[in-house]
Amino acid sequence: MKERIEKLLKRLEELEQALSQPDVFDDQKRYKELSREHREVTRIMEVGKPYLKAVQDYEGNASIIRDGSDPELVELAQAENEELEEQIREYEEQLKILLLPKDPEDDKNAIMEIRAGTGGDEAAIFAGDLYRMYTKYCERHGFKVDVMSSNPSERGGFKEIIFSVEGDSAYGTLKFESGVHRVQRVPETETQGRVHTSAVSVVVLPEAEEVDVEIDPNELRIDVYRSSGPGGQSVNTTDSAVRITHLPTGLVVSCQDEKSQLKNKNKALKVLRSRLLDLALSEKNSEIAAKRKSMVGTGDRSAKIRTYNFPQGRVTDHRIGLTLYKLDRIIEGEIEELIEALQLAERSEILKESA
């Protein structure tokens, strides 16, 4: 472990030197790659540096103990090494998790799809609440949100909304949000004060670049039509809405939020490309997912993953058995504790598998 961390420390110095060179900054692709690696190594070294210091102190004390010329100093060194042994073990456990190989898709931007499920108007309203929760989280963490397609509900919220999230490791951060989110609360339309249960499905896809998925234009059927709002009210007087059907898979993507037909087409293609990449990744990862005991990381979107209970102010993530009594803050976008716990659970699961 010590040798691996020392190599990473040396690599961190090389990255810092490379990033200071003007020619690297001029090559934006190269600059992004080095910046991403620099962030990852820096994150590891937050534990790696104190680990190296603890090892260095331990080895220094061991030298004093071997020398044995000063009994009082030997006693102090032995006492300190007992504490350092525990510290070193804890650092090594943390580093084992931090050094696990990352999913190459984690660094990508994300496409998120939120759809109202069982519960009618209340499900649509909650879909809007989840969209607001994610946008607030993204704002705080410097992620850019761009709505690609939406189908608002007449009573508020959305029957469906699709949006992209751009930023460093957006997909790796948000991928565990895929699944069925259940809400328990008294709807605004409920006159007798009864608690209703509704459900919303969330899908998180890695945004695919053209090099990831090649689409044959001959395998697409593209239809254009006039976009409309809730209740059929016309919101556009030109045929700017676009519907793309991928004939080999039957996947259909529609986009009508932009006034430009070209912009709607490009957004629809971006969603289609990401869905095709997700299909390919799902097939590749199906065997891995089947082996895992934990639901974390399997991407099973039919499973109920989380319950938001408003009367009790409680949020429970069923995959890891985590319950937090801070629903008011979570629904305002403070989902960091949930995301970090899920990431840790996945790393621990992978670590057990590798062992």
Q: What is the pLDDT of residues 144-168, one digit of tens each?
A: 999 988 999 988 999 999 999 999 8
Percentage of residues of the chain with pLDDT beyond 90: 54
**What is the three-state SS of 34-46?**
HHHHHHHHHHHHH
pLDDT at 189: 67
| pLDDT value of residue 74 | 94
Question: What pLDDT sits at residue 303?
Answer: 74
Residue 164 CB neighbour total at 10 angstroms? 21
Over range 272-277, report the average pLDDT.
Answer: 87
Q: Kind and range of the H or E element at 5?
A: helix 2-19
What percentage of the chain exceeds 70 in pLDDT? Answer: 89
- In terms of residues, how long is the chain? 355
pLDDT band at 25 (very low <50, low <70, confident <90, very high): confident
Tokens of 296: 């974390």
Dump the DSSP string for 45-100. Answer: HHHHHHHHHHHHHHHHHHHHHHH-S-HHHHHHHHHHHHHHHHHHHHHHHHHHHHTS
**Which CA distances in Å does 349 have to 145, 293, 296, 335?**
31, 8, 9, 21
More confident: 65 or 283: 65
pLDDT of residue 234: 44
pLDDT at res. 277: 84
Q: Is the pLDDT of residue 353 over 60?
A: yes
Residues with Cβ within 8 Å of residue 342, at least 6 apart in sequence: 176, 296, 317, 319, 320
Question: Looking at residue 300, what is its pLDDT?
Answer: 52
Asked if residue 228 lies in contact with residue 248, where contact means CB atoms within 8 angstroms, the answer is no
d(CA 205, CA 210): 15
SS3 15: helix
Residue type, 117: G
**Residues near 22 by Cβ (< 8 Å), separated by ≥ 6?**
none
Q: Which comes out higher in pLDDT, residue 263 or 334?
A: 334
pLDDT at 35: 86
Q: Cβ–Cβ contacts within 10 Å for residue 221, how many? A: 10
- What pLDDT is stored for residue 212 in this prediction? 65
End-to-end CA distance of the chain: 16
What's the confidence (pLDDT) of residue 136? 97
Q: Across residues 92-109, what is the average pLDDT?
A: 85
pLDDT at 169: 87
pLDDT of amino acid 278: 83
Does residue 299 surpass a pLDDT of 50? no
Q: How many helices (H) and strands (E) does the chain have?
A: 9, 11
SS3 244: strand
Q: How confident is the model at residue 14 (pLDDT cuts 50, 70, 90)?
A: very high
pLDDT in tens, 187-225: 876 767 889 999 999 999 988 876 567 788 889 999 988
Do 295 and 305 form a contact (C-beta atoms < 8 A)?
yes
Tell me, what's the pLDDT at 49?
96
Q: Which CATH number fits domain 2-98: 2.20.25, 1.10.3470, 1.20.58, 3.40.50?
A: 1.20.58
Assess contact for 267 and 149: CB atoms under 8 A.
yes
Residue 228 confidence (pLDDT): 66
Residues 217-268: pLDDT tens digits? Answer: 889 999 988 776 554 444 555 678 899 999 999 999 988 888 888 888 988 8
The rounded mean pLDDT for the chain is 87
Does 183 score more than 90 pLDDT? yes
Using one digit for the tens of pLDDT, what is the confidence trace for 40-91? 899 899 999 999 999 999 999 999 999 988 999 999 999 999 999 999 999 9
What pLDDT, on the 0 to 100 scale, is given for residue 105?
A: 83
Q: Write the CATH number of the domain with boundaries 104-354.
A: 3.30.70.1660
Q: What is the pTM assigned to this prediction?
A: 0.69
- Calculate the alpha carbon distances from 341 to 100, 333, 335 in Å: 16, 16, 10
* Of the candidates 218, 221, 350, 238, the residue with the CA atom closest to the CA atom of residue 285: 350
State the span(s) of the chain assigned CATH 3.30.70.1660.
Answer: 104-354
| HSE-CB for 168 with a 13 A CA cutoff | 11
